[in-house]
Amino acid sequence: NEYKSYLRGCMAENQRLLGSSIQTLHNSLQHYGVEQGIGSASDNRKTLGTFSGVVVPCTLSMFSAILFLRMGYIIGFAGITEALVMFTLSYFIVMLTVLSVSAISTNGAIEGGGAYFMISRSIGPEFGGAMGIIFFFAQVFGSTVYLLGLVDAFMDTFLSIPQGKWYKVLYGTAILLIMLAVVMIGAEIFAKTNILIFVIVFATLIVNFINFFIQKPFEYEPPPDNKAFKHNLTYTGFSSNTFKNNLNHNYTTDYTLQKPTSFESVFAILFTGFTGVFAGSNMSGDLKNASKSIPAGTIGACTFSYLIYIILVFLIAATCDRELLQNDYLFLDHICKVPYITTVGTLAVTFSASLSTFIGATRILEALALDDILGRLLTFVRVGRTRRGNPWVAVIISWLCIQALLFVGQLNVLSPFVATFSLLTYATVNMACLALDLAGAPNFRPTFSYFNKYTSLLGFIASIVMAFVVNPRYASTSFAISVMLFIFIMFRTPGSSWGYISQALIFHQVRKYLLMLDTRKEHVKFWRPSILYLCSNPRSCIPHILFLNDMKKGGLFVIGTNVVAELTPGIAKWLEEQKLAWLSLIELLNVKAFVETTVDTNVRNGLQNLIMTAGLGGMTPNTVVLGFYDTANPVDFLADSNAIPRKKKLLAKLRRSHNDHRGHVDELPSIRPQNAADRISIENYIGIIRDAMFLRKNLCIMRHFHHFKRPEQCSRSHQCIDVWPLPPHASTVFVEDDTTSMFLLQLGCILHMVGSWDKARLRVMLTSSSGELSLSEKEQMESIIKILRIEAEVISVVMPESIKNAVTDGERYSIVNQVVRDNSKNTVVTFIYLPRPPAERNEQSEYQYISQLNILTDDLPPTLLVSGLSKVTTSQL
């Protein structure tokens, strides 16, 4: 019994812990969802279901001004065949976009902002912000178009009221004020209003469908605003002749604008009605379950509206004479037996479409402000929200924009803008879905599965093509504006925590091409320096990093460092922070480099690991670079404002962008004293040189680079790159098979090819210890550099006779040093042949070797000691 009691106690405790863990996980996921959003709407704002929040506004927006105001315009000019093509093509583009929207919306939590939220969270703030602004104006222009359609219908029906442009603006302003009141109250009253309008529009459609079957043929006069047409218009009823006459296109003059029509202009008018596909997704912040409601509601609305349009095309084309369709755009009201029923439906559907895009514009503007896309320009929008979360400042701004556009006064003038802006937004949504699918990220697993990369690609291409078909000038202008906005946002917006699809795509492609990079196919004629720079402290190595970045010539550049410590949890966390600080330094210096760090209590072991493992696949370093082993006190170049070009401005930019996922250069370790306990020993230093040579790596040792300046920072007389291709020994002649000599020439040539170094003089310093250099030796060198296509000047340097009498290498190196100082004291950088380390592995010989290198390079300008172990150049084609 005691044992059973003990087991029951354990089970109860386990259940309590499990419940606590589940609650913690639930809270974490809720917190994660809020953080990934844009300041999630409060729960009392999420009140709309699928039907009221998506189906109704989406259907009414798809009907918009087209259903009752422009069907005659479309069929009259385009004919049945092209009208069906236009409707099918429009819905094809729309449905492809809907598939992409459905995939994105079912891949995570959706907050306010609709299409903008989905684009920005899928492919980053630059694309999202640029298209969010474009889409905001698409909604504003769309709302104005639908409002003008409403006013046109109102004025054409009630002819007794005052007419004219300014009265149109007055009536539009009055109706817009009513919309403003509805939007100010909030989404709930908008949804209730829309359901009532939906019932009215559906009833109007049923009445019109019945009217086609019961109305007898008759004639009536053209509308008063059509002054050009002088004959009566004929409603024929169902007639095969009427149907045949309406079968093909007949593009003539639009009586409202007195301009010729075309496929492009008619399609632009038609497609304006299909910009409402995002009406449901724009309400994402007000939906109870956006991920479920947006796909189901949008697809249902598109299917229903498409069927209605196709039925209407056949009914109208079979009963209405072509002259009627071309000369009376409000003919549905004039042929209906029930007076004013079509007018009521027209006013209702256009009011709903205008209201829907109005509220959509406010939600997009609010999302842009909360995401800080435009900085201080929209700061005031963030603070302007009612107690129920309604963004009243965004509402006022959207209202003012629509009010300003009302002064244009012509629906057909604004329609191409709406179509173009919307098509670009559709293209971006499809591109976002395509990019997510191509990236193959495991976390892209939408519950909506009726899409693939081909539907997204087809939707993207079709949207771009149709944008240019509608109006090439508007499309080009919109595209240019989008690019400028993208660039502006890219440079202005700090890094986001949303994730960047570009990074996933780059990873995918780089991995694929790295696997294709086969080291067995390497050839010397495609050789380039791939550098591993072993750095002790980044603060003291900034000039070295800047120089090596110039010298890499498109090759791999890895900056490696070893932390002298044992790997513990504390060290591991510190390393993560240091990695972020390193990345900030790379960005600050504007160099193209990778950073690798090892941890080992022995410096040599850590750096050995770096030399052997740095790189990936076929991209591995072929050249190891070290700093010089000397007793000079290190300099903190990060604290020197002159060491880094535009440092203050760049640091300010980095500090602005400093957030949870980016470190800062201030966190890099401070300069350690020269006599620090963890300073590398001479034995280990020479051991690293030997290790690099054993591993068949070319080797460079840098000295005096704390004096380094680029050529443009030097006077004209100092702009020289000197290469000393011969070893510092007596009676030495140039040998083509000497890999070090050829490596020296190659490095000098590569550096001279860099843009900021091409004005410097490249000099090959050819030495002789037997008096004047013989003509044959100089000609041989000039011939070699010509064959190797190196633009350099060969300079003869005579070694003093005393070098022959030198007994020790130290004496000989002292003489060589004096010669180099005399001839290269004003160079930007000097390349010198590196003597090989001693074969004996004892303290005395190793100390002597370091001493000799110190003598050889003492008091020189910035100097690279170079040793080549592989062939790096060829004269073969």
505-560 pLDDT, tens per residue?
888 888 888 888 888 888 888 888 999 999 988 888 888 999 999 998 888 999 99
- Amino acid, single-letter form, for residue 758: D
598 CB neighbour count, 10 Å cutoff: 19
Residue range 50-57: mean pLDDT, rounded: 87
Determine the Cα–Cα distance for residues 411 and 414; give it in Å rounded to an integer. Answer: 6
563, 616, 729 from 608: Cα distances, Å: 13, 16, 31
| Phi, psi at 299, each rounded to 5° | -65, -40
Which stretch, 36-40, 75-79, 649-653, has highest mean pLDDT? 75-79
DSSP state of 798: E
Those residues whose C-beta lies under 8 Å from the C-beta of residue 809, and which sit 6 or more positions away, are: 835, 852
132-151 per-residue burial string, b: 16 or more CB within 10 A, e: under 16: bbbbbbbbbbbbbbbbbbbb
Q: Which of 33-42, 336-345, 833-842 has the lowest mean pLDDT?
A: 33-42
For 235, the 3-state DSSP assignment is strand
β-pairing, 594-599 with 623-627? unpaired
Task: Identify each DSSP E strand in 324-405 by its residue range.
Answer: none
Inter-residue contact 486 to 120 (CB < 8 Å): no
Residue 23 pLDDT class (50, 70, 90 cuts): low
Q: Distance between alpha carbon 836 and the CA centroid of its chain, in Å?
A: 49
- Amino acid, single-letter form, for residue 514: L
| Phi, psi at 801, each rounded to 5° | -60, -25
Residue 658 pLDDT class (50, 70, 90 cuts): very low
Beta pairing partners, 559 = 533, 595
The answer to whether residue 33 scores a pLDDT higher than 60 is no
pLDDT in tens, 370-388: 887 777 777 777 776 666 6
pLDDT in tens, 839-874: 888 888 999 999 999 999 999 999 999 999 888 887
Per-residue confidence (pLDDT) for residue 685, from 0 to 100: 92
Those residues whose C-beta lies under 8 Å from the C-beta of residue 292, and which sit 6 or more positions away, are: 50, 106
Inter-residue contact 854 to 865 (CB < 8 Å): no
SS3 content of the chain, % helix, strand, coil (to 5): 60, 10, 30
Residue 40 pLDDT class (50, 70, 90 cuts): very low
Determine the Cα–Cα distance for residues 691 and 614; give it in Å rounded to an integer. Answer: 14
Residue 211 pLDDT class (50, 70, 90 cuts): very high
545 CB neighbour count, 10 Å cutoff: 20
Q: How far apart are the first and last CA of the chain?
A: 91
Per-residue confidence (pLDDT) for residue 503, from 0 to 100: 79
Residue range 625-650: mean pLDDT, rounded: 73
C-alpha closest to that of 204 among 344, 354, 52: 344
Residue 17 pLDDT class (50, 70, 90 cuts): low
Both tokens of residue 123? 């492919």
Per-residue confidence (pLDDT) for residue 732, from 0 to 100: 54
242, 286, 459, 739 from 100: Cα distances, Å: 41, 21, 9, 58
Residue range 630-659: mean pLDDT, rounded: 64
Helix and strand element counts for the chain (H, E): 31, 14
pLDDT in tens, 577-606: 888 888 888 888 889 999 999 999 888 999
Residue range 759-772: mean pLDDT, rounded: 80
Residue range 91-118: mean pLDDT, rounded: 83
pTM for this predicted structure = 0.70
DSSP state of 831: E
Per-residue confidence (pLDDT) for residue 659, from 0 to 100: 47
Residue range 299-327: mean pLDDT, rounded: 93
Both tokens of residue 197? 């309008």
Per-residue confidence (pLDDT) for residue 662, from 0 to 100: 46
β-pairing, 233-235 with 218-220? antiparallel
Residue 243 pLDDT class (50, 70, 90 cuts): very high
Residue 773 pLDDT class (50, 70, 90 cuts): low
Residue range 142-160: mean pLDDT, rounded: 82
Mean pLDDT score of the chain, rounded to an integer?
82
